[in-house]
Chains A and B, each alone.
Chain A
Amino acid sequence: MTSSIYTRAINVLAVLVVVIWLIPVVWVALTSVKPTNVINAETPTFYSFEPTGEHYVEIFDRFRMDRAIVNSLVTVGVSTLIVMILALPAAYAVARMGLMGGDTWALVILSLRFLPGVVVVLPYFKMATWFSLIDTQIVLIVVYVAFGLPFAVWILRGFLLDLPKEVEEAARLDGLSWLQIIFRLILPMAAPGIAVTAIFTFVFSWNEYLYALFLTYDSATTMPVALQKTIDLYNVLWGSLSAGAVIQLLPMILVVFLLQRHIARGLALGAVK
């Protein structure tokens, strides 16, 4: 009996901790629909205000959020696609083909994930200047390919190592080529793993800030950079800022619910295997 009360108390504690943990996320959503005078009032409120859409209008009108959304979608979407096309054969090669030093290759590729952004961003900046690509979507796509590739190869390799070998062996005996095996056999079999990898790659680039800050300033800015523009030295438009933040967060929250239990597996694969 006491143990059941004890269990129930811990269950309640677990719920409480999660709810408290998420207050900031709830807070930004609430702030985005509060009138400005309520936002700046000395006593914050969770419920007593008239919801308004004015900040969402302003973030589009004044801060060109529409353009930032398109830029983010294009650069992140295209680079994720390229990353996946490059990563799948590479991951297959290091995972399955008995490559000499396959694991060493995988580790070397992964180690590039740990490069500090400030070290490589300067050469990117210089190169982009030479090719007059500063403030274009192209330069961000190229950089995000390099940024996403190491991690994608690493997680995909983890997923591929878990697949059963027998089907591939049968296909080999039937005389299918490696590319045929990868795209006709592995692609459908590893589809969940590939989807998880693609979503992770998308998320990392979607949230990326440093490269976007250095390589774009106006017409190609992505959402994180556009958000930061709601702040100047003297004045912060908390309402517009929150509206922009919500627009940037929403797809990520959707992703979290879409992935659910795959997240732990994906993260663990990326971390451990």
Chain B
Amino acid sequence: MTAVAVEARPPRAAGPSAPLRPGAVARQQRRTAYLLLAPCVIILLALAIFPLIFSGTLSFKVDSLYNPDIARFVGWRNYNDLFDDRRFWNSIELTVIWAVVVVSIQMVLGFFLAVLLDRKMKGAGLLRTLIIIPVFISPIAMGLTWRFIFEPVSGLANWILNTGFGLEKWTWLSHKDTALATLMFVDCWQWTPFIALILLAGMQSISPEINEAARLDRVRGVTYYWRIVIPLIRPVIMVVILIRLVDSIRIFDLNFIMTKGGPGSSTLLASVYDYTIFEQGHLGLMAAYGFLILILINIVVLAFLNTLYRTEKAARAADQP
């Protein structure tokens, strides 16, 4: 993200009153800036940083929701317990698979959707407005609606597949072989439009001169998108992938409301797993797992930024004669 932010930022002009008395004015301005920033930073310290420290401490304790008297420090025990638990590794593996698969599908579909909506027909604006609706409605309301659609007996999905394609009725969400795929399908339904819209905004910010040059050179169709559009909107693509990766690893709502991790543990992604630990009352263990999710997210972000940085450097080196 840093690399992109650096490129997108306009050059910083000198302060407004710079010519008058540079030193003193700049210093006074900086002090005011800190004052304006302070309330926001203090609140975030109290409501984000402090809870993080609190959670970190808790992860080294045994603490029960139902019996607060037994709370005491136990060192690394919670972490050791998790590392020894096969179901923990299972949920981490499932979460990584989930994030990679879901984001890949959404990026590809989102790109095609963006191309499809990137046209000058009457009503294109309305289509773009309509398609974004899924992004704005709550995963809870939609997750429950999808549960009804995938309901085995009277659900719409089975009816369409049965009358339209002659498939047998199937228990999509309550069979361990299809539950995760069904969940992925719903997640893609909700988030593909988000990606499409951001890519579309990128496509439409390509300057008319470039498009005109492409037209004169008869660069069209697949070549146009592959050779001109994708390289130009690459920064946007990278940031969107990053945001979606992080959000997919943290996913809770949809997973919780549609399957709650089941059947068995076939859809037990990290955050819902962590919630089940809370339900059992092991607060220390829950905090420890929460921290491991945070670390997992950081690993993914850093690995991603690292690759981004390296390909960027390689691309720049290739540009030099």
- Cα–Cα, bound, A115→B17 (Å): 39
Of residues 87 to 115 in A, which have CB atoms within 8 Å of B's CB atoms? Answer: 87, 89-90, 92-94, 97-100, 102-103, 105, 107, 109, 112, 114-115
Residues from chain B with Cβ under 8 Å of A40 in the complex:
153-154
Of residues 1 to 54 in A, which have CB atoms within 8 Å of B's CB atoms? Answer: 7, 10-11, 13-15, 17-18, 21-25, 27-28, 31, 39-44
> CB within 8 A of B145: which of A24, A90, A150, A228?
A24
Let me know if B121 and A98 touch, CB within 8 A: no
Residues from chain B with Cβ under 8 Å of A98 in the complex:
12, 14-15, 26, 29-30, 33
B234 to chain A, nearest CB (A): 12
Interface string of A262-273 (1 = CB under 8 A from B): 011101100111
Residue from A41, A118, A273 having most chain B Cβ neighbours under 10 A = A118
Residues from chain B with Cβ under 8 Å of A62 in the complex:
none
- Cα–Cα, bound, A93→B136 (Å): 30
Residues from chain B with Cβ under 8 Å of A41 in the complex:
154
Let me know if B8 and A90 touch, CB within 8 A: no
A119 in contact with B17 given A92-B36, A93-B34 (CB within 8 Å): no
User: Among the listed stretches B44-52, B174-182, B209-217, which one makes contact with chain A, having 4 or more residues with CB under 8 Å of it?
Assistant: B44-52
Residues from chain B with Cβ under 8 Å of A172 in the complex:
16-17
Let me know if A22 and B159 touch, CB within 8 A: no
- Cα–Cα, bound, A252→B134 (Å): 10
Residue B218 CB within 8 A of the other chain: no
Q: How many A-B residue pairs have CB under 8 A?
A: 292
Residues from chain B with Cβ under 8 Å of A206 in the complex:
138
A146 in contact with B44 given A27-B145, A97-B36 (CB within 8 Å): yes
Let me know if A231 and B144 touch, CB within 8 A: yes
Residue from B17, B153, B250 having most chain A Cβ neighbours under 10 A = B250
Interface string of B143-182 (1 = CB under 8 A from A): 0111111010111100100000000000000000000000
Interface string of A224-266 (1 = CB under 8 A from B): 1001101100001010011011001100110111001101110
A87 in contact with B40 given A122-B58, A267-B194 (CB within 8 Å): yes
Residue A143 CB within 8 A of the other chain: yes
Give the B interface residue count (CB, 8 A). Answer: 103
Let me know if A25 and B156 touch, CB within 8 A: no
- Cα–Cα, bound, A231→B275 (Å): 19
Let me know if B127 and A272 touch, CB within 8 A: no
Residue B274 CB within 8 A of the other chain: yes
Let me know if A267 and B197 touch, CB within 8 A: yes
Residue B110 CB within 8 A of the other chain: no
Let me know if A248 and B141 touch, CB within 8 A: yes
A261 in contact with B198 given A120-B48, A172-B17 (CB within 8 Å): no
Residue B219 CB within 8 A of the other chain: no
Interface string of A185-225 (1 = CB under 8 A from B): 00000000000000000010011011000100000000110
Residues from chain A with Cβ under 8 Å of B144 in the complex:
227-228, 230-231, 241, 245
Residues from chain B with Cβ under 8 Å of A90 in the complex:
36-37, 39-41
- Cα–Cα, bound, A168→B146 (Å): 51
Interface string of A125-136 (1 = CB under 8 A from B): 011000000000
Let me know if B154 and A44 touch, CB within 8 A: yes
> CB within 8 A of A99: which of B2, B33, B52, B274?
B33
Residues from chain A with Cβ under 8 Å of B202 in the complex:
268
Residue A142 CB within 8 A of the other chain: yes
A sample of 24 inter-chain contacts (CB < 8 A) reads A22-B130, A23-B156, A39-B154, A41-B154, A86-B43, A89-B39, A97-B32, A98-B15, A100-B30, A109-B44, A117-B271, A119-B287, A119-B293, A149-B44, A172-B17, A178-B29, A178-B32, A209-B138, A230-B144, A252-B137, A256-B133, A257-B129, A267-B194, A268-B201
Question: B-side interface residues toward A, CB under 8 Å?
Answer: 1-2, 4-5, 8-10, 12-17, 26, 29-30, 32-34, 36-37, 39-41, 43-44, 47-48, 50-52, 54-55, 58, 113, 116-117, 119, 121, 123-125, 127-134, 136-142, 144-149, 151, 153-156, 159, 189, 193-194, 197-198, 200-202, 235-236, 239-240, 243, 246, 249-250, 252-253, 256-257, 271, 274-275, 278, 283, 286-287, 289-291, 293-294, 297, 301
Question: A-side interface residues toward B, CB under 8 Å?
Answer: 7, 10-11, 13-15, 17-18, 21-25, 27-28, 31, 39-44, 86-87, 89-90, 92-94, 97-100, 102-103, 105, 107, 109, 112, 114-120, 122-124, 126-127, 142-143, 145-146, 149-150, 153, 161, 165, 168-169, 172-173, 178, 182, 203, 206-207, 209-210, 214, 223-224, 227-228, 230-231, 236, 238, 241-242, 244-245, 248-249, 252-253, 255-257, 260-261, 263-265, 267-268, 271-273
Q: Which 3 A-B pairs have the closest CB atoms?
A: A146-B47, A123-B51, A207-B138
